[in-house]
């Protein structure tokens, strides 16, 4: 057992760190920290820089454009990204549909879609959830009927993140209504410009337009856009869910979040006028949170090393998801506590393009919306209750 | 000991509850938020004229109904149930309380206006560096030949955009943090030298930053003795806190009901999610927090007229407990609602936002626990 | 609404307070505080003093020997007992079987048993729980077969508190094995000196002998010792359970417990050498606990006034039970934290009658055993999980 | 980064685990507790002679196996699984660590004795008023012609009733609370002037109050430089704390297993209680605490050789987290067991008692959080 990096690993870390320092766009600095909403071009700019360096898809096999890194290198890379507070590369192409395509797709599908995922030329969204389905994913009702060389798709999807920008979406649809819930499902790639596709915004508690409803009305989808066999889409879905959950602990981001929290608590004053971070009770909350994060970090490291209960990305990633989201939410709770009364003003309501400054300190104006918004993390990707059910069943045998 | 409400209080609750059910449902409230100015002023007028509740806490000689803290509690609980954005606390409880304490011309002139719905008072006690300590203020008031001149910055003054008057704390002596030297002023909103920056809050209210730039507020603006206002300010804040507890209790009860209803109809894995034992127990734990919040609101309210230390202890115990319970209940409500709870489309999310703000209004859990601990140590000494 | 007592109520309080001060046995003072185990005579002495005053059964109707007090007087009485830290009057006769007998018993049964319950001449124990039954009371298996004018009882009861001292026990037995679980049960009074009754101690975590197993082997019980109808014992059981739960909040005892905790925290030093009660973090735990207790107190007062959700002793007493036991347990947790290292020595292991003093300060030596022992409170009387089930069903309609 | 165990460590774990399964099951342990002296000394001898594990952490030149902190961790985790009452931490980790740090004759003489199972060392660092602060001690050591004379009272010295030697902290200067002036002595248990009051602990160990009444411990008892021992004492306590974390992790894992097994067979309302979702989720939460405890034990152990501040931070984070998790897991285990969990009849209750003591051994959650906060403020300054 040894926690130290090898000299090669240290050199790699330095290389990554230097690249970020030299190449991360100046106009994006700080936006992530403050919980600002990002525009489409903001999100794509860093993606394209990483793409040109060959680093945009750390986990992809080299034959499809991955950098061929070890698990430790990937760990270092994600630590460094978080350390520098870069905006995240969107997961829908790189982490979600990409691996499904290179794992289950035909050579033609790979050739057609993978390069444009890497380059960022195609923006992807995920059509999984349906109104009323929630964590019960397999209960989906969107229908796809085969008509010649097309499917005709009808139904409604919801919680579709950033679909307002999307060129393509990957959808779970029911192709055999008579089969059991998890059977009779197929995995389709749908051109979002197809006639019959309508995207409608859902405004969340903080006022953000991040998620959408997607309505599908007699949408024609060529059969060649189906991944894997008809009625076997659940295989792709399960693969993707397991894949999605790796990195969900968010350790590096939460480290950064705690540093930011400490900075805020140094600037804010308590009731006696001393910095809030010197207030014993506030400080204690931070100290406890740091303990929780260290425990999560080492549990993730043990999981990566295959050392924790179970092997490979599977049920133990549920633990990382539960604890990771609890910590992420706790950070936003403490930021909101820290900013006190200036958590109340709602800056978002100002007209766009207004050059008015926020009310109160700059670190305060996104505190409440971010806190509200982060409640989603214990709901999406399988609610934390579902994660506990999974652990009970898969790890404890209950 | 007696825990029953008077007939008047019962009627007060019933008529207000009925009005709010009919005129202040979720959709109506959403429409109010979208109006110019962020509210519907007709509601406040209806409180005065249709319901006649604005005088609930004023003595009969001022034209009021002669009620007291319990009447305020009843009203606040109902307003909390509806997450109403009406300035009853600010105007009737705090503003009215200050006027009654000051007495004289001020009271005689303004209280009938409050009861009629014409006078709205905002309470400007906080400043950018005060956090929840009302004595940590830097706004200055100086006496000159023409009365008092105020300079300073008051933050997050709820209801200030549409208030006719503002109750302002300012230093006539002493340094930030000292209790001596704080004075209380009642000023007219339109006074020259007062500028506002208005904004909505995350929970749908309207508030302002108030900037006093050598604002001359006249000779009669001072309420009570110069430099000796902290006793009254503490009392007003304790009353406001108790009222906030009652409001939060109403909000919690209603959010619990909304969540229970949702859990009964929401299907997952072939059954209503209310059939899952972890959801059931969470709903039970939420109920327990809501019921304890109601108990604590009673407790604080019934002790508002005890001596200052006992009053403060009762109020801070209530607020500390409710702040914690409100967070648990609100987060649980969203979790049980799932994705839809995080949108602006359902009432639950708005109740959650309001509860989140009520957690820290007039001091968060840490603030009130610290206040209790200071008393604990004083008793031990 | 008014919190103040009337002048009559204040006079009553003063009378009670004076009576306790003048009559509570000197040798019992402090024993309750320190969590000492009490002998049979200890427990009976205070019972007999209250009996002679006519105050031993505050809730009983006057026709059976109750004092005829109002609810507020009973509240004041229990507050004063706790305030003076008196040992509790044992509930098995006064609060449990007594009310069952005067509610469901025949005139002959009332005449025979009630006076000796009041006087303390009969010591009662409760034969409800069975091995393996736990919170599932209705699953009981102890059989009573009718043979002429007797029942012949066979079976085993457990968790029978203080059965080692008991003259009589009240037992739930199955008289109709073919009926549904809650039917076919009868309520029998059994003379503990009957042949075939064996009491065996169960030693609990702190080393106490408080509970027992009771074995019943062909025990002959006259039919006249059955309360209410045959096979209708569940009616008595339900009545008794609801009755048992009143006062379960334990507010007055917990107030006293917190005062004692503060005293300990004034005597103990923290790591810096200041009194533990001056340590911000320890003090905060006490302050939070006091908030919890005030909330419980006012919820109980609202319940007594019929103001809380539901009416009469019913499901809302489950709330009082859950929160009351959480607070009782929390007090013992904080006492154990407060005494630090001196929670470890196990004084009970010294030979009885030894005059060695405990290790460490006197307030420390029962801290751990009491903490261990109090874990029972969230288990007995229907576990706190069962209480939540009850609230879910009865209050929330789930 | 590497999280794998060496082959030696794997064998160490397997052989110790097998031995404890066979010879240290619950009934055997209960019998040991009932023996005169409260333990079975043959077990310790077997650790030395059959298993050969007592030298795991000593360098080969002293006759040890040349292992390090990770080997200690492996052993402590297994001892924790068995809630073994064997003084490995006291003798091999703390006592051995002190001897290796001191070097010289002491080490050369005593380490082979430790490895052979003949030397048992108790660590007397706490005093009646010290709480968890090793510098808040009043025991005095004065030099005279014949060596060092100790006077004072050491509390709750685990393993002292049967130890051959005691490692004692005492002041050769300074006042209680000061770091300067603390010295470390290794004294023979039978020295004149040392009296013991022996007793069992609530979790089945044997301990003593040690009274030094002008006990002359000879000229060679001092380890290291006079008055400068606090650096070493801190390091020894950090190692002891990390080892306690590993022990607690083992105890937590085992108690979780016991509870899971019990829940699967225990029937209530016609089904195993493990079918109830609230029980399932509680068991999951317990598992998460157990796994995080293991992670934290790794983390602390792997950082024991970093500089003092980083070592202290790692250790205190681990202990603070585990203290909280241990309480939750222990209480949950008893709750799920129900009545039987509160008796001395099942293993679960004894694991709970041990875990409760481990919560505060070498400092409770508050102690370690305070240590972390002091470091946080030092960094910020």
Give mean pLDDT, residues A340-368.
79
- Look at residue A138 in the predicted model and tell me its pLDDT: 80
Mean pLDDT calculated for residue range C158-162? 94
Chain B CB within 8 Å of residue A326 CB: no
- Interface residues of A toward C, Cβ cutoff 8 Å, are 280-281, 284
Per annotation, catalytic residue among C130, C210, C244, C268: C244
Q: Select from D316, D333, D338 the residue whose CB has the most chain C CBs within 10 Å, as the one to mutate to test that interface.
A: D338
pLDDT above 80 for C315: no
Contact yes or no for C392 and B281 at CB 8 A? yes
Tell me the DSSP string of C77-121. Answer: HHHHHHHTTPPPPPHIIIIIIHHHHHHH--HHHHHHHHHHHHHTS
**Percentage of residues in chain A with pLDDT exceeding 90?**
71
pLDDT of residue C309 exceeding 50, the answer is no
| Same domain, yes or no: A79 and A137 | no
The minimum CA-CA distance between A279 and chain C, rounded to whole Å, is 10
The band of C350, judged by pLDDT with boundaries at 50, 70 and 90, is very low
What's the average model confidence in pLDDT over D19-33?
Answer: 97
Q: Are residues C189 and C143 in the same domain?
A: yes
Report the gap between the CA of C376 and the closest CA in chain D (Å): 7
Band (C312; pLDDT cuts 50, 70, 90): very low
A217 shares its domain with A339: no
Chain-chain contact of D321 with A295 (C-beta, under 8 angstroms): yes
Residue C198, pLDDT above cutoff 90: yes
**Chain A residue with Cα closest to D5:** A1
**A186 and A255 belong to one structural domain:** no
Strands (E), chain B: 121-124, 140-144, 147-158, 165-171, 182-188, 194-200, 206-218, 222-223, 267-268, 271-272
> Is the Cβ of D369 closer than 8 Å to some Cβ of chain A?
yes
Say which of D327, D343, D369 has its CB closest to residue C202: D343
* Cα–Cα distance measured from residue D70 to residue D89, given in angstroms and rounded to the nearest whole number: 13
Same domain, yes or no, for A289 and A203?
A: no
The answer, for B339 touching chain A at a CB cutoff of 8 Å, is yes
Is 90 exceeded by the pLDDT of residue C352? no
Rounded distance between C-alpha atoms, residue A226 and residue A240, angstroms: 15
Can you give the CATH number for the domain in which A184 is found?
2.40.110.10
| B99 interfaces chain A, CB cutoff of 8 Å | no
Average of per-residue pLDDT values in chain D: 96
Q: How far apart are CA B91 and CA B180, in angstroms?
A: 26
Residue B75 has pLDDT above 50, yes or no: yes
Burial class from Cβ neighbours inside 10 Å (0-12, 13-18, 19+) for residue D248 reads buried
Q: Is C244 a catalytic residue?
A: yes
- CATH code for the domain defined by B7-89+102-118: 1.10.540.10
Bridge partners (DSSP) listed for residue B272: B267
In the numeric block, which tokens belong to residue D10? 């794997």
- Distance from C-alpha of D268 to C-alpha of D265, rounded to nearest angstrom: 10
Q: Tell me, what's the pLDDT at C322?
A: 96
Tell me the pLDDT band of C160, cut-offs 50, 70 and 90.
very high
Residues 282..301 of A with a Cβ closer than 8 Å to B: which?
282
| pLDDT for residue C314 | 60
CA distance C229 to C224: 11
Residue C224 domain-assigned (yes or no)? yes
pLDDT, tens only, C86-107: 998 989 999 999 999 999 999 9
Q: How far apart are CA C157 and CA C163, in angstroms?
A: 11
Give the mean model confidence (pLDDT) for residues D38-53: 97
Q: What is the pLDDT of residue A382?
A: 86
Alpha-carbon gap, residue D297 to D323, rounded angstroms: 12
Contact D303, A3 (CB under 8 A): yes
**Least Cα separation, residue C342 to chain A (angstroms):** 26
Which is more confident, C199 or C182? Answer: C199
Query: Cβ contacts of residue C152 below 8 Å, gap of 6+?
Result: C144, C145, C218, C219, C220, C221
Q: Is the pLDDT of residue A307 over 70?
A: no
Contact at CB, B200 and A349, closer than 8 angstroms: yes
Q: What's the mean per-residue pLDDT of chain C?
A: 91
Domain count within chain C: 3
Neighbours of chain A (3+ CB pairs under 8 A): B, C, D
Nearest-Cα residue of chain C relative to residue A279: C280
Chain B residues touching C286 at Cβ < 8 A: 376
Q: Per residue in B208-243, pLDDT tens?
A: 999 999 999 999 999 999 999 999 999 999 999 999
CB count, 10 Å around CB of A148?
A: 9
Q: Min CA distance, B368 vs chain D (Å)?
A: 21
Residue D359 has pLDDT above 70, yes or no: yes
pLDDT single digits (tens) D204-233: 999 999 999 999 999 999 999 999 999 999
C34, pLDDT greater than 70: no
Pairwise pLDDT comparison (A180 vs B124), residue with the higher score: B124
Per-residue pLDDT, C19: 98
**Is residue A365 domain-resident?**
yes
**Is residue B67 left, alpha or beta, with left meaning phi > 0 and alpha meaning psi from -120 to 50?**
beta
pLDDT, tens only, B76-87:
999 999 999 999
Residue A262 at interface with chain D, using a CB cutoff of 8 Å: yes
Nearest CA in chain C to D334: C375
Residue identified by tokens 């055993």 is C369
Comparing CB atoms, the residue among A5, A298, A395 nearest residue D296 is: A298
For residue C288, what pLDDT band results from cuts at 50, 70 and 90? very high
Residues in chain D: 381
What CATH fold (topology level) applies to the domain D123-228? Butyryl-CoA Dehydrogenase, subunit A; domain 2 (2.40.110)
Neighboring chain C residues of A284 at a CB cutoff of 8 Å: 281
Q: Is the pLDDT of residue A137 over 90?
A: no
**A341 and A284, same structural domain?**
yes
Q: Tokens 């005053």 identify what position?
A: C53
Strands C124-127, C168-174: pairing kind: parallel
Give the closest-approach CA distance of D245 to chain A in angstroms: 13
Q: Using an 8 Å CB-CB cutoff, list chain D residues near B276.
A: 277
User: Which residues on D lie below 8 Å from A2 (Cβ)?
Assistant: 1-2, 302
In this predicted structure, which of B96-100, B373-377, C166-170 has the lowest mean pLDDT?
Answer: B373-377
More confident residue, B3 or D230: D230
- Residues near C215 by Cβ (< 8 Å), separated by ≥ 6? C156, C197, C198, C199, C200
Average pLDDT over residues B50-68: 96
Beta bridge partners of C191: C168
Determine, yes or no, domain membership for A303. Answer: yes
pLDDT band at A310 (very low <50, low <70, confident <90, very high): very low
| CATH classification of the domain holding C265 | 1.20.140.10
User: pTM of this prediction?
Assistant: 0.95
Distance CA C335, CA C254 (A): 13
Residues C275 and C331 grouped into a single domain = yes
Q: What does DSSP say about strands D140-144 and B194-200: parallel, antiparallel, or unpaired?
A: unpaired
Contact D276 B277 (CB under 8 A): yes
Please tell me the distance from the alpha carbon of residue A303 to that of residue D286, in angstroms, as a whole number: 18
In a domain, C144, yes or no: yes
Establish whether this prediction's ipTM goes over 0.90: yes
Q: Write the residue in C139, C269, C388 that is nearest to D129 by C-beta.
A: C269
More confident position, D314 or C312: D314
**The pLDDT value given to residue C214:** 97
Q: Name which of D373, C282, D110 is nearest A286 in CA terms.
A: D373
Distance from CA of C161 to the nearest CA of B (A): 30
Shortest distance, CA A384 to any CA of chain C (angstroms) = 21
Q: Which residues of chain A lie closer than 8 angstroms to C284, CB-CB?
A: 281
Question: Which residue among the candidates A79, A130, A244, A268 is catalytic per the annotation?
Answer: A244
Q: Which of C40, C64, C89 finishes a domain?
A: C89
Percent of chain C with pLDDT over 90: 71
Q: What is the pLDDT of residue A347?
A: 75
**CB < 8 Å to A281, chain C:** 280-281, 284
pLDDT at residue A192, as a whole number? 98
CA distance C115 to C122: 9
H or E stretch including C171?
strand C168-174
Domain assignment present for residue C101? The answer is no
Q: Which residue is closest to B315 within chain C, CA to CA?
A: C291
Per-residue confidence (pLDDT) for residue C217, from 0 to 100: 98
Domain ranges across chain B? 7-89+102-118, 123-228, 231-380
Residue carrying structure tokens 């979720």: B26
- Nearest C-alpha in B relative to C8: B1
CA–CA distance, D264 with C383 (Å, rounded to integer): 18
pLDDT score recorded for residue A311: 47
Within an 8 Å CB–CB cutoff, is residue C2 touching chain B? yes
Q: What percentage of chain C exceeds 70 in pLDDT?
A: 93
Cβ distance A375 to B334 less than 8 Å, yes or no, reads: yes
Alpha-carbon distances of A221 from A114, A195, A232, B271, rounded to whole Å: 19, 10, 17, 33
Q: Indicate the range of A79-83, D51-55, D136-140 predicted with least confidence.
A: A79-83
Q: Quick one: A216 exposed, middle or buried, by C-beta within 10 A (0-12, 13-18, 19+)? A: buried
Q: What was the pLDDT predicted at C348?
A: 63
A188 lies in the same domain as A299: no
State how far the Cα of A119 lies from the Cα of A44, in Å rounded to an integer: 9
Residue C238 has a pLDDT of: 86
Q: Tell me the C-alpha distance between C78 and B3, whole Å.
A: 19
User: Using one digit for the tens of pLDDT, what is the confidence trace for B271-318?
Assistant: 999 999 999 999 999 999 999 999 999 999 999 999 999 999 999 999
Q: Can you give the residue range of the structural domain that contains A144?
A: 124-231
A372 interfaces chain B, CB cutoff of 8 Å: yes
Identify the burial level of B7 via C-beta atoms within 10 angstroms of its C-beta, where 0-12 means exposed, 13-18 middle and 19 or more buried: exposed
C351 pLDDT above the threshold of 50: no
Residue of C nearest to B1 (CA): C3
> What is the pLDDT averaged over residues C152-176?
96
Q: Which residues of B touch D (CB under 8 A)?
A: 276-278, 281
Contacts of A290 in chain D (CB under 8 A): 317, 372
Q: What is the pLDDT of residue C244?
A: 65
| Cβ neighbour number for residue C188 with a 10 Å cutoff | 25
Closest-CA residue in chain C for D336?
C379
Mean pLDDT to the nearest integer, C216-222: 98
Does residue C243 form part of some domain?
no
Distance from the D342 Cα atom to the nearest Cα atom in chain B, whole angstroms: 24
Kindly list the residues from chain D whose CB atom is less than 8 angstroms away from the CB atom of residue A294.
296, 299, 314, 317-318, 321
What is the pLDDT, as a whole number, of residue A350? 46
Closest-CA distance of chain A to residue C378, Å: 24
CA–CA separation, B177 and B138 (whole Å) = 9
Mean pLDDT confidence for A319-341: 97
CB contact under 8 A, B197 and A372: no
Task: Inspect the interface and report whether the beta carbons of B294 and C389 lie closer than 8 Å.
Answer: no
Share of chain B above pLDDT 70, in %: 100
Same domain, A373 and A307: yes
B138-142: Cβ within 8 A, 24+ apart: B138/B171, B138/B176, B139/B168, B139/B169, B139/B170, B139/B171, B139/B212, B140/B170, B140/B171, B140/B172, B141/B170, B141/B171, B141/B172, B141/B183, B141/B185, B142/B172
pLDDT of residue C349: 44
Instruction: Provide the residue count of chain C.
Output: 398
Provide the pLDDT for residue C32: 66
Q: Note the pLDDT tens digit of each residue in D97-153.
A: 999 999 988 899 999 999 999 999 999 999 999 999 999 999 999 998 889 999 999
Of the two residues C39 and C270, the one the predictor is more confident about is: C270
Examine the domain organization and report whether A170 and A219 are in the same domain.
Answer: yes
Residues from chain B that touch A212, judged by Cβ atoms under 8 A, are none
Q: Taking residues A227-234, report their average pLDDT.
A: 96
Q: What is the CATH number of domain D231-380?
A: 1.20.140.10
Find the helix or strand (DSSP H, E) in which D209 lies.
strand D206-216
The CATH number of residue C32's host domain is: 1.10.540.10
| The two structure tokens encoding residue B60 | 């009969």
Residues C276 and C186 in one domain: no
CB contact under 8 A, D303 and A3: yes
Which of B202, B347, B373 is the best mutation test for A, with the most CBs of A within 10 A?
Answer: B202
């Amino acid at each position: 057992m040894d926690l130290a990096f090898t000299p090669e690993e240290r050199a790699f870390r330095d290389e990554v760190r230097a690249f970020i320092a030299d190449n991360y766009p100046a106009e994006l600095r700080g936006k992530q920290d403050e919980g600002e909403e990002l525009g489409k071009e903001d999100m794509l700019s860093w993606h394209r820089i990483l793409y040109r360096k060959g680093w945009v898809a750390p986990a992809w096999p080299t034959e499809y454009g991955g950098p061929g890194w070890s698990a430790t290198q990937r760990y270092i890379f994600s630590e460094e990204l978080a350390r520098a507070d870069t905006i995240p590369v969107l997961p829908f192409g790189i982490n979600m549909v990409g691996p499904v395509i290179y794992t289950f797709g035909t050579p033609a599908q790979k050739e057609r879609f993978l390069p444009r995922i890497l380059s960022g030329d195609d923006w992807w969204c995920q059509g999984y959830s349906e109104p009323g389905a929630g964590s019960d994913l397999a209960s989906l009702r969107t229908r796809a009927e085969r008509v010649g060389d097309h499917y005709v798709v009808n139904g409604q999807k919801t919680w579709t993140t950033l679909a307002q920008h999307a060129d393509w979406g990957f959808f779970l649809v029911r192709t055999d209504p008579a089969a059991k819930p998890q059977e009779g499902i197929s995995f389709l790639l749908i051109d979002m410009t197809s006639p019959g596709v309508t995207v409608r915004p859902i405004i969340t508690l903080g006022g953000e337009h991040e998620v959408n409803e997607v309505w599908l009305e007699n949408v024609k989808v060529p059969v060649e856009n189906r991944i894997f066999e008809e009625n076997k889409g659940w295989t792709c879905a399960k693969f993707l869910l397991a894949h999605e959950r790796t990195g969900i602990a968010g350790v590096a981001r939460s480290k950064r979040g705690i540093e930011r929290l400490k900075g805020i608590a140094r600037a804010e004053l308590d009731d006696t006028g001393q910095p809030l971070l010197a207030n014993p009770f506030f400080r204690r909350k931070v100290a406890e949170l740091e303990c929780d994060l260290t425990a999560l970090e080492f549990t993730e490291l043990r999981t990566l090393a295959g050392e924790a209960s179970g092997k490979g990305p599977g049920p133990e990633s549920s633990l990382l998801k539960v604890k990771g989201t609890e910590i992420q939410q706790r950070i936003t709770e403490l930021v909101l506590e820290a900013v006190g009364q200036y958590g109340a003003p709602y800056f978002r309501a100002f007209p766009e393009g207004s050059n008015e400054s926020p009310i109160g300190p700059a670190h305060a104006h996104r505190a409440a919306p971010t806190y509200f918004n982060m409640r989603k993390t214990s709901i999406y990707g399988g609610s934390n209750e579902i994660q506990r059910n999974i652990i009970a069943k898969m790890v404890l045998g209950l | 000991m007696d825990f029953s409400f008077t007939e008047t209080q019962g009627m007060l609750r019933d008529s207000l509850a009925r009005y709010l059910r009919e005129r202040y449902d979720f959709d109506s409230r959403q429409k109010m938020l979208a109006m110019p100015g962020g509210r519907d002023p007709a509601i406040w007028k209806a409180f005065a004229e249709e319901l006649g509740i604005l005088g609930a806490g004023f003595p009969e000689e001022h034209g009021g109904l002669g009620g007291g803290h319990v009447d305020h509690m009843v009203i606040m609980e109902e307003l909390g149930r509806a997450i109403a954005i009406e300035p009853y606390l600010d105007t009737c409880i705090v503003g009215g309380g200050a006027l009654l304490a000051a007495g004289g011309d001020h009271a005689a002139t303004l209280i009938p206006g409050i009861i009629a719905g014409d006078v709205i008072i905002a309470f400007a006690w906080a400043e950018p560096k005060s956090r929840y300590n009302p004595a940590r203020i830097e706004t200055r008031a100086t006496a000159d030949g023409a009365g008092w001149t105020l300079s300073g910055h008051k933050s997050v003054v709820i209801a200030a955009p549409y208030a006719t008057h503002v109750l302002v704390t300012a230093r006539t002596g002493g340094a930030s943090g000292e209790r001596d030297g704080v004075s209380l002023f009642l000023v007219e909103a339109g006074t020259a030298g007062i500028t506002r920056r208005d904004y909505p809050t995350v929970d749908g209210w309207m508030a302002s930053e108030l900037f006093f730039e050598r604002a001359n507020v006249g000779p009669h603006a001072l309420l009570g003795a110069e430099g000796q206002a902290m006793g009254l300010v503490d009392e007003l804040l304790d009353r406001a806190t108790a009222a906030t507890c009652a409001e939060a209790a109403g909000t919690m009860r209603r959010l619990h009901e909304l969540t229970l209803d949702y859990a009964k109809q929401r299907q997952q894995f072939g059954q209503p999610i209310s059939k899952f034992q972890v959801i059931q127990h969470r709903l039970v734990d939420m109920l327990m927090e809501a019921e304890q919040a109601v108990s604590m609101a009673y407790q604080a309210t019934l002790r508002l007229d005890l001596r200052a230390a006992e009053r403060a202890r009762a109020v801070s115990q209530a607020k500390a407990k409710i702040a914690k319970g409100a967070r648990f209940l609100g987060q649980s409500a969203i979790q049980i609602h799932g994705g839809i709870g995080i949108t602006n489309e359902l009432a639950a999310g708005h109740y959650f936002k309001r509860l989140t703000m009520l957690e820290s209004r007039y001091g968060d859990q840490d603030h009130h626990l610290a206040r209790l601990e200071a008393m604990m140590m004083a008793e031990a000494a």
